[in-house]
Chain A
Amino acid sequence: KQEVTQIPAALSVPEGENLVLNCSFTDSAIYNLQWFRQDPGKGLTSLLLIQSSQREQTSGRLNASLDKSSGRSTLYIAASQPGDSATYLCAVSAAGNKLTFGGGTRVLVKP
């Protein structure tokens, strides 16, 4: 059974600092790994998708890496802004496209 863990559960940084969010999964037989953003009480917004054959993906200030053999992914957010405050969720997809989510990391960027 796939299990996804995100550490830390919460993170508070001053504006301008780089953010590093970690995600680990137990079963390396995945199709892809996705990072989502969730604002309080809202749905999920997809940030980055890394296919199982890829090592990293970049979009603007966001960079996500994937090490499938060790079951780890890291999301980097450069030069954080107060608008980056949200919960960040990682999810892995196996056959059938069912997503297994981690518990999320709640991020607060202080002005």
Chain B
Amino acid sequence: DAGVTQSPTHLIKTRGQHVTLRCSPISGHKSVSWYQQVLGQGPQFIFQYYEKEERGRGNFPDRFSARQFPNYSSELNVNALLLGDSALYLCASSLDPSGRAWETQYFGPGTRLLVL
């Protein structure tokens, strides 16, 4: 079975532009979460979606938005890019976000975004 896939793998944008990142979860997984990992730091939670509805949002500005499609894939959108948005954006999938103690999240390879 394919794991979590993300596209594109790398992206270079300039300040003020908009970017869309894509994620396909593991087959059968209905929950997708997005994380931002700045170089040298641990990932920070951005959003969680389940069954096309937002289930959680981290401490990120409104420039960040996301959605989930009927096939459970997801997009992360970032408007008005800033230099500080340069990071590795990670997508993770799980069966559902109910927080069962034995359930893990599976991460994709990430999209490396560089804002110049």
Chain A residues packing against B (C-beta within 8 Å): 4, 6, 31-32, 34, 36, 41-46, 49, 51-53, 89, 91, 93-104
Contacts and interface: CB of A to CB of B under 8 A. Distances in A.
Contact of B102 (A43, A51, A100): A51
Given A89-B42, A99-B45, A44 B101 contact: no
Given A41-B112, A43-B90, A43-B108, A98 B45 contact: yes
Interface of B: 4, 31, 33, 35, 40-45, 48, 55-56, 58, 88, 90, 92, 94, 97-110, 112
Nearest to A54: B101
Contacts of B108: 43
10 contacts: A6-B42, A32-B104, A43-B107, A43-B110, A51-B102, A97-B99, A98-B56, A99-B45, A101-B43, A104-B42
Contacts of A96: 48, 55-56, 97-99
Contacts of A4: 42
B109 A42 contact: yes
Contact of B101 (A6, A46, A53, A101): A53
Nearest to B101: A51
Contacts of A91: 42-43
A45 B31 CA distance: 18
